[in-house]
A = this chain, B = another copy of it.
Amino acid sequence: MDITIKLITAAEQLFDGHGYMATGMDRLTEAAGISSRTLYKHAGSKSALMAAVLTERDRRFMRQIDVLSVDALFAALEDWIRIEGARGCLFLRARAETGGETPEIAEAVSAHKSAFRDRISDIVAADIGDADPDLSEQILVLFEGATHAAVYRDGAAIEAARAAASVLVEKTRS
C-alpha cells in the first residue's frame, strides 16, 4: 500500500483520538509501520503532516456532504459520525492546539471552513430554490452545533439539529 496514504490514515486516527500535540512522532512511525527517516522524507515535518491530514480530511468530508437538501446534509452527518465517531471538528481542534500560529495549518483550516460554508450555501439554494444567506448561516450553526454536542450527547444532538433545520427550512419555504 502507498506509504503516504498509510501515513496520513494512521496520523489522522492518532491525532483525532489522542490530540495533535499529545501524539509523538514515534507513535506515528509505529502506527504507520514506517521508519522515522521515511516519515520525514514524505511529510517533511510534523506541522506539514498535520496540514496534509487536514487537506485529505477536507476531501473526504466534502465528498460525504455532497448532497442536495438540508435534510440529506444532516443524514450525511449522522452517517459520518456513526463511522468516524464524535470528537469535535478536527479543523477547529488543530487551530486551537496550535493557537493559530502555524501558517500552513491555519491556512488548511480556513480553506476548509470557507469551502464548507460555500457548500452549505449551495445546499440551501438547491433545497429552497434560491440563495438565502440568513438561513445558510443558521444551518451552518446547527451543523457545527450537532458536531460538537454529539461529543457528549451522541445521536440526540444530530436528531435535534435535523429537526430544527427542518422547521427553519419549512418556514422559509412558505
Residues of A in contact with B (beta carbons under 8 Å apart): 17-19, 21-22, 87-89, 92-93, 95-99, 101, 109-110, 113, 117, 134, 137-138, 140-149, 151-153, 156-157, 159-161, 163-164, 167-168, 171
Q: Chain B residues with Cβ under 8 A from A89's Cβ? A: 148
Q: Chain B residues with Cβ under 8 A from A109's Cβ? A: 152
Candidates B137, B144, B167; contact of A171 at CB < 8 Å = B167
Known contacts A93-B93, A148-B148; decide if A157 and B171 are in contact (CB<8 Å). no
Q: Chain B residues with Cβ under 8 A from A88's Cβ? A: 92-93, 96
- Assess the A137–B157 pair: CB atoms within 8 A: yes
Listed A/B pairs (16) with beta-carbon separation below 8 Å: A18-B101, A22-B99, A92-B151, A113-B152, A138-B160, A140-B145, A140-B157, A141-B146, A141-B160, A141-B161, A141-B164, A142-B142, A142-B145, A144-B157, A145-B145, A164-B164
